[in-house]
Amino acid sequence: MSYVPTPFATPIYPPSLYSAYREAPYISPSWYRFAPTAVGTLGLVPGSPEQSSDSLASLAEVISRASAWMDEYCFWKADGSFSASVTVESAWVLPKPTGQLVLITNFKPIRTVIGVAVGCAPSQLQTLDQNCANDITTGEKTITLPGYWTGSPRPFFGGYPSTNGLVYCVYSYVAGWPHTTLAASVTAGATSITVNPSTPGGSALYGAQAGTPLTIKDAANAETVVLASTPTSLTLSLVNPVQYNHTIPAAPSPDSIIVTALPWGLEQACVHITSVLLKTRGTRSTVLPQIGGASMPNRQALARAGALADFDVAMKLLHPFRVAYLH
């Protein structure tokens, strides 16, 4: 019989558990149908009428699969997302000779650093105050704590001895692009829009601030609006009024109107990967690439399905957004 340790009185949870579950479709079913793909999407469910809601729901599911595939392909892990959201990570970091601590994040681009705590052990963490935060600098994928903060000769990690020269750090940040959906219909001339939170059950749109342009993806009525102020709620004030009416689909429709700042390349990659999935459905020999060393799809099978060009374009579009794999 194998040995089973006695459970702790209080379980220990990793800091990253906070952000371990998140996903977001990067395009809507109606936006895919509006794109000039020449891919038929009616009657996706065998036995259902071509115009039934089943086809729309099936398309939404395929788009979710394509979006999740993009996340895993680019971030090497299931909890990655291009949609701006809060991530909490921890790491043992070796201070540089100058005393600097460089924290490498799993996701990019960093939009906001929310908080950092450092210490010689998880039980002896010190949360850095605002005076310390003012001296933090960020790169696309790094958070750098200087050896000393303004007005104090004390190193960031305090007077505690380190463990084998390493310092334990826990840090929370927002990475990605603002990406959500309209929560209420909008009438032309409105000076604000109401959106859904970045994460289900949340109350904020992450990654946006005054001057951020957001595109309302509403087929022929698509338009770009600019935020007049940094959002403090889910009602966003705009610099200029909305030009068109935008009517959200009635529940329980799986469709939506995307409001996003995602780069064009990511949106188009999602369109192409969705096309690959639709074209290769039923082709058992075709397997989309996965993380962890799984084989790439058979190019012959992709070519037979007419999906090879879509696949190659998607790979080129996603290449700039891939991150280095961190063990």
Q: What is the pLDDT of residues 7-66, one digit of tens each?
A: 889 888 877 766 666 778 999 998 988 888 777 777 676 656 555 677 788 889 999 999
Picking from 261, 277, 301, the residue at the C-terminal end of a domain is 261
Higher pLDDT, 235 or 326: 235
The answer to whether residues 168 and 90 belong to one domain is yes
Tell me if 11 is assigned to some domain: no
- Residue pair 56/255 in contact by the 8 Å Cβ criterion: yes
Tell me if 256 is assigned to some domain: yes
Q: How far apart are CA 218 and CA 249, in angstroms?
A: 11
The parent domain of residue 255 ranges over 179-261
Asked if the peptide bond before residue 109 counts as cis, ω within 30 degrees of 0, the response is yes
The answer to whether residues 119 and 39 belong to one domain is no
Tell me if 6 is assigned to some domain: no
Q: What is the pLDDT of residues 67-96, one digit of tens each?
A: 999 998 998 887 889 999 999 999 999 888
- pTM for this structure? 0.84
Picking from 233, 261, 289, the residue at the C-terminal end of a domain is 261
Name the token pair of 75.
Answer: 């971030």
Distances (CA, A) of 238 to 93, 205, 259: 42, 14, 13
User: Confidence band (pLDDT; 50, 70, 90) for 292?
Assistant: very low
Would you state the pLDDT for residue 176?
Answer: 93
Listed range (2-16, 66-80, 115-129, 153-167) with the worst mean pLDDT:
153-167
Where helices occur in 159-279 by DSSP H, the ranges are 264-279
The answer to whether residues 168 and 183 belong to one domain is no
Tell me if 53 is assigned to some domain: yes
Q: How far apart are CA 295 and CA 179, in angstroms?
A: 31
Picking from 117, 145, 175, the residue at the C-terminal end of a domain is 175
| AA letter at 314 | A
Q: Is the pLDDT of residue 314 over 70?
A: yes
Where helices occur in 91-140 by DSSP H, the ranges are 130-133
User: Confidence band (pLDDT; 50, 70, 90) for 309?
Assistant: confident
Would you state the pLDDT for residue 48?
Answer: 60
User: Residue 294, class by beta-carbon neighbours within 10 Å (0-12 exposed, 13-18 middle, 19+ buried)?
Assistant: exposed
Tell me if 64 is assigned to some domain: yes
Q: Is the pLDDT of residue 117 over 80?
A: yes
Tell me if 128 is assigned to some domain: yes
Q: Is the pLDDT of residue 208 over 90?
A: yes
Q: What is the pLDDT of residues 172-201, one digit of tens each?
A: 999 999 999 999 999 999 999 999 998 888
The answer to whether residues 89 and 166 belong to one domain is yes
Tell me if 2 is assigned to some domain: no
Cβ within 8 Å of residue 158, ≥6 positions away: 118, 119, 126
Backbone angles phi, psi at 143, to 5 degrees: -120, 120
For residues 261-273, average pLDDT = 95
Listed range (4-13, 152-161, 252-261, 307-316) with the worst mean pLDDT:
152-161
Q: How far apart are CA 93 and CA 74, in angstroms?
A: 24
- Residue of 110, 101, 88, 104 lying closest to 145 (CA atoms): 101
The answer to whether residues 167 and 231 belong to one domain is no
Listed range (20-24, 221-225, 271-275) with the worst mean pLDDT:
20-24
| AA letter at 311 | F
The domain total for the chain is: 3
Tell me if 5 is assigned to some domain: no
The answer to whether residues 198 and 222 belong to one domain is yes
- Judged by DSSP in three states, 288 sits in coil
Q: What is the pLDDT of residues 2-11, one digit of tens each?
A: 888 888 898 8
User: Across the chain, what does the average pLDDT equal?
Assistant: 84
